[in-house]
Amino acid sequence: MHLYPTRIKGLRWKLIRDPIYNYIFFSKEVEGRLLDTLYLQRLRRIRQLQVAYLVYPGADHSRFQHSLGTMHLSGLFAEQLLSVLEEYEDLEGYDKSELVEATRIAGLVHDLGHGPYSHAFEEAILFRSKELSKKELGNHELVGLALMRTEGFKNVIEECSSKANLEGLCDLVDKIMDDKKPADRIISLLRKTIKAWIYPADIMDFLMRDSYYTGTREYGTIDYYRLITYSYPYEDLIVLDRNALYSLRSFLQSRYYMFETVYLHKVCRSFDYMVQLMMKEASEYLELESRVLSILEGKPEAFLELDDFNVLYMINKIPSKDAKAERAKYYLKCLLERINLWKPVGQPIEITFPLDAMGHFMFKYGDIEKAARDIKDKVIEYMVKNDALKVYADDIWVDHNLKRTLPALPYPLETLRLAKLEEGVSIVSKVEVPKLLEESGLSPRVTFTLYVPSKLVKDTSLRVLMENIVDKVYSETFSVTKAITM
């Protein structure tokens, strides 16, 4: 495996300086053309970590940077898997250089569908709209797929790929990025290099990049080169060389610590919630849902106007004519002035699931959302009985996070196959994934945290009263949950 892409005749390669990989290659005639479109340039104005810059001042990097990094690692990963296939089996009629280029482009555009403030927009607008869900636009990946399929974007790929004699490129990128299960083994393998695997390019890059910019580099040390080099294709799976198991353990631990210290930081979560409220209050005025729907009409321009900076300008320009507009503008003011409206109270409760105990939790509660609602409802019951607390009862919320130690996969991955490469790929052993996680101290867990208005926390007597209520509610809610440690 080389640190530069497969050389494709007719393409010129240029370099971009990058703080994570030193250099990232890109093809001037194909990738360069895509980079210069509004579709990709817009990602320069969307922060990778939403509001984390309010906690970590260096976390001001963009999804554009992350997209370049994902393109780079996706290409290396595809190159490795295809080289092994080419040597010991066959590529089933595909051209290797075209497959690598298609995978690189898929990595480049994998975050195309993010709205302003990324996951906050997703939770406030995409997840909650029945119309967007019905039109298959209910998350940023589906929005990105719709953008890729607009005439403007397809024309750019088709035009530049035709000049490079890569006529099948547009179709290959679409197959790799499609949300449906691929029937083709090779397409399935290439999709896993980007996102649908334990250690895909997307996650490896954002862990390294985010830890670098937040200053938490001790949590983002990942031997990506070893993980990729010791990965082999086996049927439609990626298998790991037995000599790289500890590199995988280190990756999983880095992922866990980054979620624990950065992505789920209590102040970040509080501002994320405020941005979600701001988006919901402003949605009607800014026609946010309509802007997403317009993509299906072949008119993506309205959606492409949305970025972290422009949406703030647009909210500021909303006429102050009703309560919703006023609330949106108030949340905007608090964001710009770093006024934290909510703070956690009491100790968060963390439920750890040894091996299969999570099934019991889901059986009892149905889902994590229901457990969070139960907690909130019980807390409110206690608050309304106290005159000093009941004025705050409508303004509390429960943050809940399923801390997966593995990324969400399209199917349960119970067993990881370990392999060796000698005259082909052969499986030498199997590792039970739940056991591997438990031995590494990485069992899945759910954390619930109650947030209350900051004004309440400043009153010592009220804060102590709330802490007692929270402890009591947690005890009432979870005391009968068997086989789960807390």
Kindly report, residue by residue over 409-421, the tens digit of the pLDDT. 444 567 889 999 9
Mean pLDDT of 80-108: 94
pLDDT at 485 over 70: no
Look at residue 478 in the predicted model and tell me its pLDDT.
79
Ranges in the chain annotated CATH 3.30.300: 343-402+444-478
Look at residue 112 in the predicted model and tell me its pLDDT.
97
Q: Burial, 83: exposed, middle or buried (Cβ in 10 Å; 0-12, 13-18, 19+)?
A: middle
181-185, 229-233, 258-262, 276-280: lowest mean pLDDT where? 181-185
Mean pLDDT of 106-132: 96
Q: Which pLDDT band, with edges at 50, 70 and 90, does 30 fall under? A: very high
% the chain with pLDDT above 70: 91
As given in the structure block, the two tokens for residue 308 are 């972290």
271 and 340 in contact (C-beta within 8 Å)? yes
Distance from C-alpha of 156 to C-alpha of 161, rounded to nearest angstrom: 8
pLDDT at 239 over 50: yes
CA dihedral (423, 183, 113, 154) positive or negative = positive
Mean pLDDT of 295-308: 97
Look at residue 165 in the predicted model and tell me its pLDDT.
82
285 and 318 in contact (C-beta within 8 Å)? yes
pLDDT tens by residue, 204-218: 999 999 999 999 999
**Class of 343-402+444-478 per CATH?**
alpha beta
Q: Is CATH 1.10.3210.10 what the domain over 13-252 is classified as, yes or no? A: yes
Look at residue 8 in the predicted model and tell me its pLDDT.
67
106 and 173 in contact (C-beta within 8 Å)? yes
Ranges in the chain annotated CATH 1.10.3210.10: 13-252
Look at residue 162 in the predicted model and tell me its pLDDT.
83
Mean pLDDT of 212-241: 94
Q: CA 238 from chain center: how many Å?
A: 21
Buried b / exposed e along 333-359 (16+ C-beta atoms within 10 A): ebbeeeeebbbbbbebbebbbeeebbe
Q: CA 394 from chain center: how many Å?
A: 30
Report CA-CA distances (Å) from 12 to 123, 243, 303, 308, 367. 41, 36, 32, 33, 51
As given in the structure block, the two tokens for residue 201 are 């390019």
Partners of 425 in the β-ladder: 421
Distance from C-alpha of 382 to C-alpha of 390, rounded to nearest angstrom: 9
Find the Cα–Cα–Cα–Cα dihedral 340, 341, 346, 347, rounded to 10°.
Answer: -40
As given in the structure block, the two tokens for residue 298 are 């072949």
Q: Which pLDDT band, with edges at 50, 70 and 90, does 7 fall under? A: low
Look at residue 161 in the predicted model and tell me its pLDDT.
85
pLDDT at 486 over 90: no
Look at residue 482 in the predicted model and tell me its pLDDT.
36
pLDDT at 333 over 60: yes
Distance from C-alpha of 270 to C-alpha of 266, rounded to nearest angstrom: 6
pLDDT at 33 over 90: yes
Mean pLDDT of 90-116: 95
Q: How many CB atoms lie within 10 A of CB 27?
A: 23
235-249, 318-332, 404-418: lowest mean pLDDT where? 404-418
pTM of the model as a whole: 0.93
Q: Which of 146, 145, 167 is nearest to 158 (CA)?
A: 167
pLDDT, greater one: 164 or 76:
76
pLDDT, greater one: 172 or 3:
172
